């Protein structure tokens, strides 16, 4: 089963939940943890993983052979990202805007466009005990996070329980990380900002047709509007984590929750069982 851990809002505790769930399951089954927050991956801090593989990731960027080019402008016309401009007898390429879709080279009537790789980041693989750990690292200044996330997700093994740590927000990198998951666990906090971004994240999962449930972190730190929203929208609240100084101190030291407070291990195993039940129920409903 593939479980993505998302939120909408940053700083709600996605990595705390993702690492705790992976560590809890690692004693019972084969587990993969994919850190798809490629702009600032931090799950390795808590897993203390040993990296033994590193692979560069390249984005295909167009290269124009101007001996073949007739400057018809078709490439600029089909580029959805304005990464190509044709001016007089010159083709301008803007690599920073290119998403590597390949439309320009495919549709060039003169076959004047080829592609060359531009390194945008790396995929690293290692292990932490029984956990197979994979993370992506996007180079500073690059924007093609979805392309790198696709490369990270290629390491998914169907025989494993897969946990995906997703970036905050509801933009393209989040959609790329969450799609094709069996379940999306949304981590939120009981504040107006938490509720606003939770509602946006819920809409994303519904558009993607992925069942979701909620973890409320820093419970009782705000109001009850998040719980009310979940009940109104028929979204299960699967776990509550209190606002606790000890938990915050453990997190600040890079100590996983279930290692610092072992009593939480059973809570995360029960969380996984609830996710399984929700996935089964959603499959029956379909």
Domain that holds residue 212: 2-57+120-285
Dihedral over Cα of 56, 60, 61, 64: its sign = positive
Q: CA–CA separation, 265 vs 251, rounded Å?
A: 16
The predicted pLDDT at position 283 comes to 80
Give pLDDT, residue 285.
74
Mean pLDDT for all residues in the chain: 95
Alpha helices in 31-143 (DSSP H): 43-47, 74-78, 103-107
Give the CA diameter of the chain: 70
Please check whether residues 203 and 84 belong to one and the same domain: no
Q: What is the CATH number of the domain that holds 218?
A: 3.40.50.300
Segment 140-172, tens digit of pLDDT: 989 899 999 999 999 999 999 999 999 999 999
Q: Are residues 172 and 279 in the same domain?
A: yes
pLDDT digits (tens, 9 = 90+) for 58-86: 999 999 998 999 999 999 999 999 999 99
The whole model's pTM is what? 0.92
Residues 82 and 152 in one domain: no
Distance CA 219, CA 260 (A): 19
Do 276 and 193 lie in one domain? The reply is: yes
> Do residues 266 and 132 share a domain?
yes
Count of structural domains, the chain: 2
Q: 261: phi > 0 → left, psi -120 to 50 → alpha, else beta; which?
A: beta
Kindly report, residue by residue over 206-262, the tens digit of the pLDDT.
Answer: 999 999 999 999 998 888 999 999 999 999 999 999 999 999 999 999 999 999 999
Query: Do 103 and 190 share a structural domain?
Result: no
On whether both 73 and 142 belong to a single domain, the answer is no
70/208 same-domain check = no
Q: Is the pLDDT of residue 110 over 90?
A: yes
CA distance 173 to 146: 5
Both 94 and 178 in one domain: the answer is no
pLDDT tens-place string over residues 12-56: 999 999 999 999 999 889 999 999 999 999 999 999 999 999 999
What's the pLDDT at 8?
Answer: 86
Residue 72 and residue 137 in one domain: no
Contact in structure between 213 and 185 (CB atoms under 8 Å): yes
| CATH code, 92 | 3.30.70.20
Residue 203 has pLDDT above 90, yes or no: yes
Do 8 and 86 reside in the same domain of the chain?
A: no
DSSP secondary-structure letter at 170? Answer: S
| 137 plus 275 within the same structural domain | yes
């Amino acid at each position: 089963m593939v479980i993505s851990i998302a939120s909408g809002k940053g700083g709600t505790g996605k990595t705390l939940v993702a690492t705790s769930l992976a560590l809890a399951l690692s004693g019972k089954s084969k587990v993969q943890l994919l850190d798809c927050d490629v702009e600032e991956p931090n799950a390795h801090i808590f897993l203390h993983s040993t990296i033994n593989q590193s692979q560069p990731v390249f984005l295909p960027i167009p290269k124009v052979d101007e001996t073949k080019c007739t400057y018809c402008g078709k490439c600029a016309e089909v580029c959805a990202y304005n990464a190509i401009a044709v001016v007089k007898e010159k083709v301008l390429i803007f690599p920073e805007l290119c998403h590597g879709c390949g439309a320009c080279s495919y549709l060039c009537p003169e076959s004047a466009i080829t592609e060359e790789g531009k390194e945008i980041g790396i995929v690293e693989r290692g292990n932490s005990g029984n956990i197979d750990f994979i993370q992506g690292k996007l180079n500073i200044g690059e924007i093609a996070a979805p392309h790198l996330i696709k490369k990270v997700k290629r390491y998914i093994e169907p025989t494993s329980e897969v946990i995906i740590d997703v970036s905050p927000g509801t933009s393209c990198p989040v959609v790329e990380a969450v799609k094709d998951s069996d379940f999306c666990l949304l981590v939120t906090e009981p504040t107006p900002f938490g509720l606003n971004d939770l509602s946006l994240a819920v809409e994303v999962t519904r558009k993607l047709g992925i069942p979701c449930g909620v973890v409320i972190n820093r419970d009782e730190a705000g109001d009850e509007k998040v719980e009310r929203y979940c009940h109104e929208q028929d979204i299960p609240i699967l776990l509550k984590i209190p606002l606790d100084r000890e938990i915050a101190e453990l997190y600040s030291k890079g100590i996983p929750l279930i290692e610092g407070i072992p009593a939480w291990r059973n809570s995360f195993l029960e969380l996984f069982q609830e996710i399984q039940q929700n996935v089964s129920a959603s499959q029956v409903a379909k």
